[in-house]
């Protein structure tokens, strides 16, 4: 049957089982939006294209499905770039559809023309520009396949306006065959047996798990491996929730702002079993000093990540779930008694903690969110101190419950991601733990949350600073707070060493902002108000903005300074 290119897009979205499309209309995608209208596609209008791509990202992370977004040509496409880079760094499956000027105008600097395939080539897993409507069904099939298979990632499909209008009779393919793209799913049996032997011989093994375990759906296999052999588990930021943090074997997060006991364990281990992780700089610290006594085994579906940053003794290329299932066939019940006792001692001696002195502590707010939601919420974060406190003081027990921009560190990610997560999981409580700086980068999406009656809760840890940058300025730049005070005005003194003395109270007033958008706003200034405010938010049907006025110069600890090794953590400052 003949269909226009725009009708093919709708057909594909239905056949792929897409439950949500996020985006913003424009001239070069009007044909597609007209078909959305006729076909009743589940479309969510965001207030900015960056909000759309982050919402698609949050939907994908929370659900395990491919997130979908759409934007018009030119600025519509370029506004997707940051979100595509975010998804690319964190291996999140997204299909982004962009409009393009008609094919005969490409290269002529037409109105709202941009070479979006050229622009996004470094920040997508793959991208296409459709030049013949007959190619569109195949290209869209490939786009979804590439996005969700192997190491997942974003795929962009650029569709010129005339391609959307021309008809094709070619059907949507049933299968995909792409020469040169054959992800390795089954790990080499000899390598898996080598790993099993190394585990049996080790005295101080540790599992280091990343986001690849979540992408593979291998949380159960990893948990069985750890418990069967009594091996402690530490995770990356992206891996939070893959192993329950309430388990006695859990060491929580390692690295720059990880736990001291996780970093001690990784530095003392004789075998590191890295699973779906990539040994990035925030994990290893000084690479030359990383885990000096350990043999390293690395399981990953992407061979390019193995040996990229550290020397690996036992590489295993394959899908994590497949490899762990095979590995379990060679593993019997084991014990590492003295090692587990040592790790337990470190956990008791070096817990995550913070000073109880002073005003409202952001760590306390996160702890209360954990308690009131019983650890069952989906937590999204912005980037900075709020992100690290959310990682440290909430107890994650399930995969796909911590959504954050790990690799790129994108401020403004958390709120639109929370919107996507809420749409993906309508029965779940969704909290965005935010900073007063990052929340302003996509605060316009309050309109999206209100218009679609989404009960997202935004917990703003308001310290009136770009907190993490200010912390570095305090620790390494002589407390010279250059351009990090968010309430600084023209008439402020040149050198401000007394935060709060001359500051206006609110820039902006988040409660008034919430009210302007039609959301509920609650301000909290004291610890005793935290729990009642959280309960009020949970009892409110729609979106709620919770503003917590926290200690202005509270820092994230522990911390490994840039260029230092993991055994050089700063526990706190006097």
Q: Is 367 a catalytic residue?
A: no
Annotated catalytic residue: which of 125, 141, 161, 552?
161
Annotated catalytic residue: which of 111, 182, 203, 526?
111
Burial class from Cβ neighbours inside 10 Å (0-12, 13-18, 19+) for residue 112 reads: middle
Q: Is 111 a catalytic residue?
A: yes
Annotated catalytic residue: which of 253, 256, 468, 569?
468
> Got the DSSP string for 372-429?
HHTT-SEEEE-SSHHHHHHHHHS---STT-EE---SS--TT-HHHHHHHHHHH-TTS-
Q: How far apart are the first and last CA of the chain?
A: 74
CA distance 69 to 53: 6
Write the DSSP symbol of residue 465.
Answer: B
Q: Is 177 a catalytic residue?
A: no
CA distance 459 to 479: 27
Annotated catalytic residue: which of 49, 142, 221, 326?
49
Quick check: 513 and 489 in contact, CB under 8 A?
A: no
Annotated catalytic residue: which of 112, 342, 529, 568?
112
Q: What is the dihedral of CA 233, 234, 240, 246, to 10 degrees?
A: 50
Q: Is 113 a catalytic residue?
A: no
Q: Is 161 a catalytic residue?
A: yes
Q: What is the dihedral of CA 76, 79, 81, 85, to 10 degrees?
A: -130
Q: Using alpha carbons only, how large is the chain's radius of gyration in Å?
A: 24
Q: What are phi and psi of 560, to 5 degrees?
A: -95, 115
475: left (phi over 0), alpha (psi -120 to 50) or beta: alpha
Tokens coding 203 = 């005295």
Quick check: 94 and 69 in contact, CB under 8 A?
A: yes
> E strands along 79-153, which residues?
94-100, 126-129
CB atoms < 10 A from the CB of 88, how many? 20
Which amino acids are annotated catalytic?
49, 111-112, 161, 468
């Amino acid at each position: 049957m003949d269909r226009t290119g725009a009708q093919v897009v709708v057909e594909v979205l239905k056949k792929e089982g897409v439950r949500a499309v996020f985006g913003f209309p424009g001239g070069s995608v009007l044909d597609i939006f007209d078909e959305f209208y006729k076909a009743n596609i589940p479309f969510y209008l965001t207030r900015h294209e960056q909000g759309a791509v982050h919402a698609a990202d949050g939907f994908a992370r929370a659900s395990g499905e491919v997130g979908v977004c759409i934007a018009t040509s030119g600025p519509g496409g370029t506004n997707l770039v940051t979100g595509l880079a975010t998804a690319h760094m964190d291996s999140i499956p997204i299909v982004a559809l962009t409009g393009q000027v008609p094919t005969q105008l490409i290269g002529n600097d037409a109105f709202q023309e941009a070479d979006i395939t050229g622009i996004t080539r470094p920040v997508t897993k793959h991208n296409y520009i459709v030049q013949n409507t007959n190619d569109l069904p195949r290209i869209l099939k490939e786009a979804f396949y590439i996005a969700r298979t192997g190491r997942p990632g974003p795929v962009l499909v650029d569709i010129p306006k005339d391609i959307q209008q021309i008809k094709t009779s070619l059907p949507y393919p049933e299968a995909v065959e792409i020469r040169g793209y054959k992800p390795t799913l089954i790990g080499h049996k000899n390598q898996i047996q080598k790993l099993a032997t190394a585990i049996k011989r080790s005295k101080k093994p540790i599992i280091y798990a990343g986001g690849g375990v979540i992408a593979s759906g291998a949380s159960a296999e990893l948990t069985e491996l750890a418990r069967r052999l009594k091996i402690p588990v530490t995770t990356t930021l992206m891996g939070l929730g893959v192993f329950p943090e309430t388990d006695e074997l859990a060491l929580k997060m390692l690295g720059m702002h990880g736990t001291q006991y996780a970093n001690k364990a990784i530095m003392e281990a004789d075998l590191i079993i890295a699973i779906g992780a990539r040994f990035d700089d925030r994990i290893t610290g000084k690479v030359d000093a990383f885990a000096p006594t350990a043999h390293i085994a690395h399981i990953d579906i992407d061979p390019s990540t193995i040996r990229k940053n550290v020397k690996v003794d036992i590489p295993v290329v394959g899908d994590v779930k497949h490899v762990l299932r095979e590995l379990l066939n060679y593993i019997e019940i084991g014990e590492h008694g003295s090692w587990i006792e040592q790790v337990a001692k470190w956990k008791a001696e070096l817990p995550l903690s913070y000073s109880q002195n002073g005003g409202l502590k952001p760590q306390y707010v996160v702890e209360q969110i954990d308690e009131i939601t019983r650890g069952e919420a989906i937590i999204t974060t912005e980037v900075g101190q709020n992100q690290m406190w959310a990682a440290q003081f909430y107890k994650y027990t399930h995969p796909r419950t911590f959504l954050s921009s790990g690799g790129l560190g994108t401020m403004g990610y958390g709120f639109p991601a929370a919107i996507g997560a809420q749409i993906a999981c309508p029965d779940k409580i969704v909290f965005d733990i935010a900073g007063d700086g990052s929340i302003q980068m996509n605060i316009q999406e309050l309109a999206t949350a209100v218009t679609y009656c989404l009960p997202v809760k935004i917990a703003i840890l308001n310290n009136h600073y770009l907190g993490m940058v200010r912390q570095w300025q305090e620790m390494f730049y002589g407390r010279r707070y250059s351009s990090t005070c968010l309430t600084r005005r023209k008439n402020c003194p040149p050198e401000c060493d007394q935060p709060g003395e001359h500051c206006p109270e609110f820039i902006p007033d988040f409660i008034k902002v919430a009210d302007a958008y039609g959301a509920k706003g609650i301000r909290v200034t004291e610890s005793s108000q935290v729990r009642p405010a959280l309960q009020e938010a949970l009892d409110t049907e729609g979106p709620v903005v919770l503003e917590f006025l926290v200690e202005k110069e509270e820092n994230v600890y522990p911390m490994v300074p840039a260029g230092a090794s993991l055994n050089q953590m700063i526990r706190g400052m006097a």
